[in-house]
């Protein structure tokens, strides 16, 4: 039974830049199987990218690019009306930047996961989703695409022939349509650690999540995102790691699809 369930545990990292320190990457790394490294648009800078890539390689983690909208002040969480060409170009640019650091350190890129508003926009907008998926495919068709479970983004990736990973969130609540509750709304973030862990175990083992409207929603959990910028991120990551061990859930970037 130990191998009945396997799932990737990822975290958005490398989001500090200049004099600004965001998150506690080193503390959460031991509990992860993959990382999504910011590429300079919503967070990150060349020095941080290099340092984070080296840390990830030292700990044997799968490395992904985390391209976002060009919005440092809003941390990439504000919607910007970009057209499909602009989305394609900014994703290619950011993948290229991180890929260079990974190659320089002797590693290999594993996946791409859009960040923040770009991620959420692409979950619903089919044309934007296809532009992002095409950018990834043209840079390297071997890269895996991480996108919200059941979203337009993973569907676009599947259409193009990319290897996709349906992503779920441990500390976020869901709507009836399977989308995340917008951060500005009450209850968007799950602060109760026990509740968050119970939710994520159910998503992995039963393939469902209870929406904010108390409706069960079908979901597929290939990879789970935890956020590294919270005050208790490391403790939360450790609790998930320990719970998964007890539940017979294997944490690996080579998860079964």
In this prediction, residue 79 carries a pLDDT of 96
Burial group, residue 250, by CB count within 10 angstroms (0-12, 13-18, 19+): middle
Distance in angstroms (rounded) separating the CA atoms of residues 117 and 114: 9
Q: Is the pLDDT of residue 232 over 70?
A: yes
The full DSSP string for 98-132 is HHHHHHHTT--EEEE---HHHHHHHHH-HHHHHHH
Taking residues 70-86, what's their average pLDDT? 96
Contact 68, 43 (CB under 8 A): yes
Q: What angle do CA 238, 241, 242 make, to 5 degrees?
A: 85
Residue ranges covered by each domain of the chain:
5-251
Distance in angstroms (rounded) separating the CA atoms of residues 106 and 9: 23
In this prediction, residue 227 carries a pLDDT of 80
Burial group, residue 85, by CB count within 10 angstroms (0-12, 13-18, 19+): exposed
Contact 200, 237 (CB under 8 A): no
Question: Which residues, in sequence order, are bridge partners of residue 169?
Answer: 225
pLDDT in tens, 115-130: 999 999 999 999 999 9
Q: Give the helix/strand (H/E) hosting 153.
A: helix 152-160
Label residues 48-73 b or e (16+ Cβ within 10 Å = b). Answer: bbbbbbbbbeeeebbbbbbbbbbbbe
Query: What confidence category does residue 230 fall into, taking pLDDT thresholds of 50, 70 and 90?
Result: low
Lowest mean pLDDT among 85-94, 178-187, 222-231: 222-231
Distance in angstroms (rounded) separating the CA atoms of residues 82 and 203: 33
Q: What angle do CA 116, 117, 119 make, to 5 degrees?
A: 70
CATH code of domain 5-251 = 3.20.20.370
pLDDT in tens, 24-44: 899 999 999 999 999 999 999
Residues in the chain: 257
Kindly state the percentage of the chain with pLDDT values over 70. 96
Q: Residues 109, 96, 131, 77: is their CA dihedral positive or negative?
A: positive
Structure tokens at 250: 């294997």
Question: Which residues, in sequence order, are bridge partners of residue 230?
Answer: none
Q: Is the pLDDT of residue 54 over 70?
A: yes
């Amino acid at each position: 039974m130990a191998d009945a369930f396997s799932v990737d545990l990822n975290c958005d990292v490398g989001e500090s830049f200049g004099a600004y320190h965001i998150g506690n990457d080193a503390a959460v790394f031991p509990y992860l199987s993959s990382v999504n490294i910011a590429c300079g648009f919503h967070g990150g800078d060349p020095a941080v990218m290099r340092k984070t890539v080296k840390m990830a390689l030292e700990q044997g983690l799968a490395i992904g690019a985390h391209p976002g909208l060009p919005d440092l002040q809003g941390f990439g969480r504000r919607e910007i009306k970009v057209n499909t060409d602009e989305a394609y170009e900014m994703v290619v640019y950011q993948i290229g930047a991180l890929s260079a650091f990974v190659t320089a350190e002797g590693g290999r890129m594993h996946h791409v996961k859009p960040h923040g508003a770009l991620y959420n926009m692409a979950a619903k907008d089919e044309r934007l989703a296809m532009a992002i998926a095409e950018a990834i495919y043209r840079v390297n068709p071997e890269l895996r695409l991480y996108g919200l479970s059941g979203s337009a983004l993973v569907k676009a990736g599947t259409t193009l022939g990319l290897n996709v990973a349906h992503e779920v969130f441990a500390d976020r609540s869901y709507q009836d349509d399977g989308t995340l509750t917008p951060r500005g709304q009450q209850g968007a973030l799950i602060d109760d650690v026990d509740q968050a862990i119970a939710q994520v175990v159910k998503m992995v083992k039963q393939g469902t999540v209870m929406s904010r409207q108390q409706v069960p929603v079908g979901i597929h959990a290939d990879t789970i995102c935890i956020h590294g910028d919270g005050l208790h991120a490391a403790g939360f990551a450790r609790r998930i790691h320990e719970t998964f061990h007890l539940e017979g859930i294997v944490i690996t970037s080579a998860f079964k699809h």
